[in-house]
Structure 1
Amino acid sequence: MEATGRMTAEQPLKAMVPWKERISYGLSDTACNLAFQVISTYLMFFYTDVYGISAAAVGTLFLVARVIDAFDGPIIGIFIDRTNTRWGKSRPFFLWFAIPFGLMCVLTFTTPGFGDAGKIAWAYVTYILVGILYSCVNLPITSILPSLTNNPKERTVLGTVRQFGGTLGQIIVTVFTLPIVAALGKGNDQKGFFLTILIFSIIAVVLLLNTFFNTKERIENVQKVVRVKDSVKAMKRNWPWIIMILMNFIYWMAMTMKNQTTVYFFKYNLGREDLVPMIMALAFGSLLTLLMTPAVAGKLGKRNTMVGGLILAIIGQVIMGVGAHSLSVPIIIVGVVINAFGTGFISGLLSVMLADTVDYGEWKSGVRAQGLLTSASSFGAKFGMGIGGAMTAGILAAGGYQANKTQTAAALQSIEFNFIWIPIIGFVIAGIALFFYKADKLEKMYLVELAERNKKLTNQQ
């Protein structure tokens, strides 16, 4: 152990993380979801039914903004690789960008009294900027993981704690947002959404600063500053990384389309908007499988555990489809619960398996580009959310959706297609992609070789 308390990569599989730090790490994702989940779940509804922007205009906005914004991930990843401070590479980003992120979340739900063109312009500026700042605080959550520990089992635990925290934040948002909006707005939804996001954003800033103060980067990169051209080498022949980019894209596209149309489905297809908080609360089921993830992954392997999660998610969606056609709320509830169990396994392993690709890339190329490689989580997720949001709005517009009016049969079908069937298609494609993921079988071997190689490099310095 060095005098600074940081552990170098030649000490394999010994960097354990205390529970205080594990919880602080997990709360970083709670913070991100408390603020950004309001945007990903309710912003389309806010734009169309509260702020008065057409579904077609929102679709174009989501596509353009997310495509532009998706490319900030690799840029921020490069900045992380080139950062070298006494706090490490990833930790400083929580300190630098927590407050700007919280402020921009509030501005996104601020509703200046502009005309139609002004409203759209305001939406473009705030939506793009909040996405960039989200990357600045969310991407380091993934990029710091390889530096917290080099123990695969410990990473799985940390990934599970992180996703537990993230899911907790997501559930708080999805269950309590509309009731809080109603209570604070007292009939004025614009005021209600503004005060709600203000509360969530303040809490998010505090939790992100807590993560900065209570985490430690133990695994030191042999290369203090990684050059861009060297970072690119870590992508070559890194097939697990490519597959995880695809996984992030597909998963978040499918989940965005489903989450964004939950309110529409229960409001218009079932006429039971009052059920939305309760349905959202059933996502608690994913917490059960999150707690099981380390043990299940230890026995079945991470890839096989995620495939099992996809199968459960598909079964749940099919059951929801049966309930949608029969207009049976109990059947839909059963499907929602089963789907939540499946997505718990998936979300619990996405960041862990992406962190594993950093080691794999270093083994293949000799370059540890944790910032650039883990930026795939931001690129894939945000590009997926952008495409998903655009597809959702486009399908609603094509079906003739009109806000706050009785919907036509075509409009109701477009809502159901977004909510039920698109996620099934996405999960099937993701499952096929995972069958080509082979890193699990090679993990023990390349970690040992990597540790021996880094030990030699350290001794030469």
Structure 2
Amino acid sequence: MELYNRSKPHKIALFVLNNSATNIPMFLTFYYMYYTQNILGLSAVVVGMIAMTMRLFDGITDPIIGYFIDKTDGKFGKFRPFMVAGNIIIVICLLGIFNTPISFSTTAKYIWTTSFYTIYILGYTFQTACTKGGQVIITNDPKQRPLFSIFDTIYNTIIFTGGIYLLMSIIAPKFDKGLLNPNLWTSVSIGVAILSMLCTTLAVIGIWEKDRSEFFGVKKNENLKFKDYVEILKNNRPIQMLTIAASTDKLAGSTMKGVAVYIFANLLMSSKLQGDYSALTGIPITIMGILGLMWARKKGLKTSFVVTTWLGLICTAILYYLGKTGASTIVFLVFMFMQQGFAAVSTPIVIPMIADVTDYEIYRTGRFIPGMMGTLFSFVDKLISSLGTAIVGFALAYAGVSKQIIQPNMFVSDKFNNTILFVYCIIPIFGYIASLIAMKFYSLDKNKMVEIQEYINKSKLKDKVVEMDDAEDYSETIESPILTAVGEK
């Protein structure tokens, strides 16, 4: 019996599109506050608080959905039903949010957008829980797991950098008033819906072969209870530390993305520059991410995460200094590019690290619970990262612009510029520091993961021997060298 369960690289590439299927809609939600404030005329502070509340609700639903995923093992597998159902919900809700009737009253707009946002979160949790849990059955080979992040980096670069260029430089100029035209958001939401459904279909094809009982771990978990979440969070140190590191990094990323439009449109005075910059840096950032993740296949996931987090922190500190001193736009963009390149390694590498802590749970207790592990991670992660939208909303209020339309390519005020720069740089720096401290107590390095996979493999062989004994007398077989070795730990 081979030590590792492997998949063909193209199957991994297809399954990673499940993450893309949720990231494409996520790209659109980055403009949720912009849309509700500047198209619908809603308060940035109120919308920010609503978004934070919905993010907390998102975290609460995670453990519930993860529990039912681990209880599922039907004709269509464990993950595929949740992937499809989640995507249908996502698509319907985004179309509802970004096509809110302008004629509605202010109160009706709040109710309409909040209702769809709430349901959207359920669909998003359905599908993202499968991304975290499904990768565990795709492969457990330490050299293959970083492939998930490599493909994810490529896809995310296309989505986020290509998406910005497409929106700012191609789509927006075709509409009168650009981003302030409601018809633009109707067109974009329809395009997002089509692409998300296509990615989900391909992801289902990618996981189809492995979404079967024989790949679901060492033993069945018929007696799972919700209280098991407490025991896991209390005693599984790696998931504690990974959750702190990833959630604070995500908080950093969400605040940066939340004010990026103002960095270009009101600090650098060119909203079109954001699209041009994204187009110019998209491929180089992808190359940096791929090279970093290929390096991770040799050095291990933990080492790669720590190194690129340090480099990201340094670049962000330099960005703040450059912004405060009024350095040239070119120099500012160079360090922005470097920071995003390091983030292209540290951010996607978290997902295969979730697979590692899931395997550690098997090593620790014998339980194969990818749904619960992935959604437990998401629960704590979202509690912390939910602050991102609220921080942006309060920052705009502090700058005195929460109830007004912020015109692009115009100077607002020094206070506004300083506030946006603080949110874009200083808050992420605190996030990076928290991540580095957490990694000091994260034990799953390269060598530890080899030990864990060897243990899991031996456990599976032992279970097969027990099944053979129950069916028939296999005494001669048990005396064979391979099974004797299995009995040794």
**Same fold by TM-score, threshold 0.5 exceeded?**
yes
For residues 103-138 of structure 1, give each alpha carbon's deviation from its aligned partner in whole angstroms, at most 9, with x where no partner exists: 211112112222222211222112222122111112
CA RMSD of aligned residues (A): 2.2
| CA distance in 2: counterparts of 1:136 and 1:307, whole angstroms | 30
Preserved contact between residue 178 and residue 277 of structure 1 (Cα < 8 Å): yes
Aligned match of 2:50: 61
Equivalent position amino acid for 1:252 in 2: K
Preserved contact between residue 84 and residue 225 of structure 1 (Cα < 8 Å): no
> Which of 35, 38, 45 is matched with 2:34 structurally?
45
SS of the residue corresponding to residue 349 of structure 2 reads: helix
| CA distance in 1: counterparts of 2:318 and 2:343, whole angstroms | 15
Equivalent position amino acid for 2:126 in 1: C
SS of the residue corresponding to residue 335 of structure 1 reads: helix
**Correspondences of 1:257-336 after superposition (within 5 Å):** 257-281=255-279, 282-325=281-324, 326-336=326-336
Equivalent position amino acid for 1:387 in 2: L
Is it true that 1:228 corresponds to 2:233 in the alignment? no
Q: CA deviation at 1:377?
A: 4.6
SS of the residue corresponding to residue 378 of structure 1 reads: helix
Is it true that 1:182 corresponds to 2:184 in the alignment? no
Q: CA deviation at 1:191?
A: 1.0
Provide structure 1 residue ranges, at least 5 long, that are not aligned to the other structure: 1-10
**Correspondences of 1:361-372 after superposition (within 5 Å):** 361-372=361-372
| CA distance in 1: counterparts of 2:159 and 2:365, whole angstroms | 37
1:288/1:64 CA distance change after superposition, 3 Å: same
Aligned match of 2:484: none
> Which of 128, 140, 157 is matched with 1:167 structurally?
157
SS of the residue corresponding to residue 152 of structure 1 reads: coil
Equivalent position amino acid for 2:260 in 1: T
| CA distance in 2: counterparts of 1:343 and 1:408, whole angstroms | 30
For residues 181-227 of structure 1, give each alpha carbon's deviation from its aligned partner in whole angstroms, at most 9, with x where no partner exists: 42564336211012111111111112101211232326233216562
| CA distance in 1: counterparts of 2:223 and 2:174, whole angstroms | 49
Equivalent position amino acid for 1:217 in 2: K
1:400/1:74 CA distance change after superposition, 3 Å: same
> Which of 400, 403, 406 is matched with 1:404 structurally?
406
SS of the residue corresponding to residue 153 of structure 1 reads: coil
Is it true that 1:28 corresponds to 2:18 in the alignment? yes
> Which of 74, 84, 90 is matched with 1:95 structurally?
84
Preserved contact between residue 3 and residue 457 of structure 2 (Cα < 8 Å): no
Preserved contact between residue 81 and residue 89 of structure 1 (Cα < 8 Å): yes
Greater displacement, 84-93 / 292-301? 292-301
For residues 383-425 of structure 1, give each alpha carbon's deviation from its aligned partner in whole angstroms, at most 9, with x where no partner exists: 3442111011112212212432653322222111111221112
Provide structure 2 residue ranges, at least 5 long, that are not aligned to the other structure: 468-489
Aligned match of 1:349: 349
Preserved contact between residue 90 and residue 140 of structure 1 (Cα < 8 Å): yes
Aligned match of 1:17: 7
> Which of 433, 446, 453 is matched with 2:438 structurally?
433
Preserved contact between residue 316 and residue 335 of structure 1 (Cα < 8 Å): yes
Greater displacement, 290-299 / 104-113? 290-299
Identity across matched positions, percent: 20
Is it true that 1:125 corresponds to 2:124 in the alignment? no
Preserved contact between residue 324 and residue 332 of structure 1 (Cα < 8 Å): yes
SS of the residue corresponding to residue 286 of structure 2 reads: helix
1:162/1:272 CA distance change after superposition, 3 Å: closer
Equivalent position amino acid for 1:255 in 2: G
| CA distance in 1: counterparts of 2:291 and 2:380, whole angstroms | 26
Q: CA deviation at 1:262?
A: 0.7
> Which of 453, 457, 461 is matched with 2:463 structurally?
457
1:190/1:383 CA distance change after superposition, 3 Å: farther
| CA distance in 1: counterparts of 2:319 and 2:26, whole angstroms | 26
| CA distance in 1: counterparts of 2:150 and 2:3, whole angstroms | 18
Q: CA deviation at 1:338?
A: 0.8
TM-score, length of structure 1 as denominator length: 0.91
> Which of 199, 207, 213 is matched with 2:205 structurally?
213
SS of the residue corresponding to residue 347 of structure 2 reads: helix
